[in-house]
Structure 1
Amino acid sequence: MVLKLKDKWLYLKTRVFSRIFANSIFYLLYPILIFFPIKKNKIVVSNFNGKGYGDNAKYICNYLLEAKAPVDIVWLIDKHWVKENGGCPNSVRTVHVRSFQALFEMFTAKIWIDNCRKSFYPPKRANQFYIQTWHAGFTLKQIEKYVETKLPSRYVKTAKKDSQMCDLLLFETSNMIPDVQDTFWYEGETFRNGLPRNDLLVNYDKLIIEKVYSYFNIDSSKKIIMYAPTFRQEYDLEMNNELLSKIIQVYSKTFNQDAVMLIRLHPNDTVNKNRIIGEGLPAGMIDASSYDDMQELLCATDTLVTDYSSTLGEMLIMEKKCFIYAYDYEEYLKDRGLLMDFKELPFPFALTEKELLRSIKDFSASDYVKKVRDFKKEHNIYETGHASQDIGNRILLEMKK
């Protein structure tokens, strides 16, 4: 625990110092930098404020690279915590996220792409185009303006400023949030015709599954169960290894299939991963928190166990087995708030360990698929499979302006 606190303090200290130093240098040189032109073919990407090659931006960039578009892609990574180049292709340049160079790259780029609210950036120039891809896919939790009074005032100020800068907001297709623009304090254009990262869920093949199995050295005869809990803002995530072992046992007996379990923590919980997961995981469990692409994991996953995570939406799209274990449901409702009663979702819902294990034992595939399809139809949940192409072509169009 002491080591974890030291790690967290070091992370915060280096982060704050880097920001202050980079900002100071940038604004000192601003009278000179203003004469540097915008490079029309440059795209600067930030994924979760410094994570590696992933989320929606990965699939947008992949489309552009595969189309051999003449683009200069810069990926901002936290080089204190991300190994090597963060999984970026060789044709993608990487720059430390909180650095003078990052500010310079953004200042001279035509396109900005981010999936979180920007808190470190230079002044946005008149001819720059900012795409906010947002990180949540299937919105069931109250977000942004819905919980404005619960959010830190500093975050609200940052979010409103971010929305003012934004030129295109990507959001899910569902009708869970009827007025997206109002929710995001946003008055600009929206794209609601599928998410780039979910193209893979529609179009994936066995090579993706083989890639995941090979990465974790999983026997091809075994199925993957993934446990992917969401982030708790006001209190800590609890992980019960004994229960997770029971889930594997009950699953194997119910479906007559050997299985392993991947543990996938929320990005905000990875800083505390050692405390949450502990010294090591029991046999049959693998930490997958550092794997760079959640969508690839979902493609290889047979069954998901989660709580309030937006990964529920991905399982809806693929119509795969999913079980909700909401052991802190009432507490989470008070802390965060939900857009609908989770008991109305088409997934088996459990408040206790006993209920969860029973729901796995009693699972009916035919009943489940019918509920999932009815829910998707009612709430307009779909994916086109070509959102990456749509956004990639839009970027190329903006570059010509």
Structure 2
Amino acid sequence: MKQKYKNEINYWRKRVIPRIIRTTFFYICYPVLFFVPIKRNKIVVSNFNGQGYGDNPKYICEYLLSQNEALDIVWLIDEKRVKNAQAFPSSIRLVSLTSFRALYELHTAKIWIDNCRKNIYPKKRKNQFYIQTWHASFSLKMMERLVEDKLPPKYVKRAKKDSKMCDLLIFESANTISDVPYNFWYEGEMFRNGTPRGDIFINYDERLVRKVYDHYNIDYHKKIVMYAPTFRQGYDLEVDITFLERLTQTFEKRFKNSYVMLVRLHPNDTKNKERILGGSLPQNIIDASDYEDMQELLCATDTLITDYSSSSGEALISEKKCFIYAYDYKEYSKDRGLLIDLDNLPFPVSTNQEELINQVYKFSNSDYLEKVERFKKIYNVFETGHASQDIGDRILQEIDQVK
């Protein structure tokens, strides 16, 4: 109990009080800042509240920079979570997410880009344009209004305010959610013709595969199997490293090839990484949680093992092997709920370790691809390969408009 109170005090001392001071100071200065003009060429970007160069915002920015080098792109970062600042193009300015400067940059930017609900922001000004890209390409788990009663009230309040500010919501093509605007408390314009982060699977680039292999010093003759579990809202994720070793060996026996396993935790779990993964990992198990771009990892991956994560959507598009390992299916269903029953997915589904081992041994690629193709048609799952360009052109159009 003492530790609980100690953690609560530390949270307020390190996070809440500085935020209150920073925001208060900003609004004290607001009468002066109100007259500071919006910079038409400034774009402020955030990825998972301070993470590195990845997800939908990255691919939009790459297209924008290829079209207009005069753009002033600001990326808000949490220094503790960004492990490789060198991954950012030199033309992108990095600003601390929790700084007064971040509020100033948002206040004076023409465009806001975010892939999850904003934690900090000044009042959105007239003629500013906010794009919410979201962070999924295939929704399997219930979200937002569908689980409003299970979400923290503070999050629901923030989500509703965020949607009210939003001018353009980017959402996947899949029809797993019948009424997306209603579910997101949103009444504005939508883009549902592919996702920026999905372009990479249509426009294949071998250099990205080699980039991942080189980053982790993996021999080119080895194949990668990646375990990427999603976040649990009401309880903790469990990862059995001994079992993952055994599973890697199973892949080697079944597919007659050398394998290495990457473990990629959800961004919300990375702060508890040491507890979840333990100490040092075996040589053939690599922690890939800090790699900035999940999509690059998926490009290099031969096989994905996940649970309720939207990363299974990338497996659908790329037609890579994918296994569902839902060891806590009953508990997760009660805690969060799923949009599609696991049995209706085209992937082999397992709820315990032995079942997953057996699914690997009896895997048939031809049967699998047939199921994947049928599933994509039923649920309207697709990527165009040019979503980044489509959205980037829309942003440039907004910037060029004189208002």
Matched position secondary structure for 1:190 = strand
Q: Find the aligned partners of 1:62 and 1:6 in 2 and give their Cα distance.
A: 43
Partners of 1:51 and 1:86 within 8 A in 2: no
Q: Deviations over 1:293-344 (max 9, x none)?
A: 0000000000011111110000000000000111100000000011111111
Partner of 1:269: 269
Q: Find the aligned partners of 1:10 and 1:397 in 2 and give their Cα distance.
A: 45
Partners of 1:225 and 1:261 within 8 A in 2: yes
Q: Find the aligned partners of 2:333 and 2:137 in 1 and give their Cα distance.
A: 20
Partner of 2:296: 296
Q: Deviations over 1:59-82 (max 9, x none)?
A: 000001122342100000012432
Partners of 1:8 and 1:271 within 8 A in 2: no
Partner of 1:75: 75
Return the offset for 1:204.
Answer: 2.1
**Matched ranges for 1:30-45 at <5 A:** 30-45=30-45
Partner of 2:173: 173
Instruction: Indicate how the Cα distance of structure 1 residues 61 and 6 shifts in structure 2: closer, same or farther if over 3 A, else same.
Output: farther
**Matched ranges for 1:6-21 at <5 A:** 13-21=13-21
Partner of 1:218: 218
User: How many residues matched?
Assistant: 399
Q: Does 1:235 align with 2:235?
A: yes
Return the offset for 1:8.
Answer: 10
Instruction: Indicate how the Cα distance of structure 1 residues 266 and 11 shifts in structure 2: closer, same or farther if over 3 A, else same.
Output: farther
* TM-score, length of structure 1 as denominator length: 0.96
Partners of 2:170 and 2:190 within 8 A in 1: yes
Bigger shift: 210-219 or 69-78?
69-78
**Matched ranges for 1:328-339 at <5 A:** 328-339=328-339
Partner of 1:385: 385
Q: Find the aligned partners of 1:330 and 1:105 in 2 and give their Cα distance.
A: 45
Partner of 2:129: 129
Q: Find the aligned partners of 2:67 and 2:329 in 1 and give their Cα distance.
A: 46
Q: Give the letter for the 1:115 counterpart.
A: N
Q: Find the aligned partners of 1:346 and 1:7 in 2 and give their Cα distance.
A: 43
**Matched ranges for 1:2-401 at <5 A:** 13-83=13-83, 85=85, 87-401=87-401
Q: Find the aligned partners of 1:98 and 1:57 in 2 and give their Cα distance.
A: 19
Q: Find the aligned partners of 1:250 and 1:8 in 2 and give their Cα distance.
A: 44
Instruction: Indicate how the Cα distance of structure 1 residues 272 and 183 shifts in structure 2: closer, same or farther if over 3 A, else same.
Output: same
Q: Find the aligned partners of 1:319 and 1:180 in 2 and give their Cα distance.
A: 26
Partners of 1:53 and 1:86 within 8 A in 2: no
Instruction: Indicate how the Cα distance of structure 1 residues 68 and 6 shifts in structure 2: closer, same or farther if over 3 A, else same.
Output: farther
Q: Find the aligned partners of 1:33 and 1:104 in 2 and give their Cα distance.
A: 8
Q: Find the aligned partners of 1:84 and 1:310 in 2 and give their Cα distance.
A: 25
Return the offset for 1:119.
Answer: 2.2
Matched position secondary structure for 1:123 = coil
Return the offset for 1:15.
Answer: 2.8
Q: Give the letter for the 2:113 counterpart.
A: I
Return the offset for 1:137.
Answer: 2.0
Return the offset for 1:287.
Answer: 0.4
Instruction: Indicate how the Cα distance of structure 1 residues 194 and 126 shifts in structure 2: closer, same or farther if over 3 A, else same.
Output: same
Matched position secondary structure for 1:149 = helix
Q: Find the aligned partners of 1:112 and 1:205 in 2 and give their Cα distance.
A: 29
What's the C-alpha RMSD, in Å, of the aligned pairs? 1.8
Matched position secondary structure for 2:279 = coil
Q: Find the aligned partners of 2:178 and 2:100 in 1 and give their Cα distance.
A: 40
Q: Find the aligned partners of 2:358 and 2:317 in 1 and give their Cα distance.
A: 25
Aligned-residue sequence identity (percent) comes to 61
Partners of 1:237 and 1:276 within 8 A in 2: yes
Partners of 2:83 and 2:290 within 8 A in 1: no
Note the residue ranges of structure 1 that are not aligned, 5 or more in a row. none
Instruction: Indicate how the Cα distance of structure 1 residues 8 and 85 shifts in structure 2: closer, same or farther if over 3 A, else same.
Output: farther
Instruction: Indicate how the Cα distance of structure 1 residues 84 and 203 shifts in structure 2: closer, same or farther if over 3 A, else same.
Output: closer
Q: Deviations over 1:362-393 (max 9, x none)?
A: 00010000000000011110000000000110
Bigger shift: 91-100 or 61-70?
61-70
Instruction: Indicate how the Cα distance of structure 1 residues 242 and 254 shifts in structure 2: closer, same or farther if over 3 A, else same.
Output: same
Return the offset for 1:14.
Answer: 2.8
* TM-score, length of structure 2 as denominator length: 0.96
Return the offset for 1:96.
Answer: 0.4
Bigger shift: 310-319 or 16-25?
16-25
Q: Deviations over 1:182-215 (max 9, x none)?
A: 0100000000000001111111221110000000
Instruction: Indicate how the Cα distance of structure 1 residues 79 and 18 shifts in structure 2: closer, same or farther if over 3 A, else same.
Output: farther
Partners of 1:194 and 1:383 within 8 A in 2: yes
Q: Find the aligned partners of 1:17 and 1:173 in 2 and give their Cα distance.
A: 41
Note the residue ranges of structure 2 that are not aligned, 5 or more in a row. none
Instruction: Indicate how the Cα distance of structure 1 residues 60 and 12 shifts in structure 2: closer, same or farther if over 3 A, else same.
Output: farther
Q: Give the letter for the 2:366 counterpart.
A: S
Partners of 1:39 and 1:110 within 8 A in 2: yes
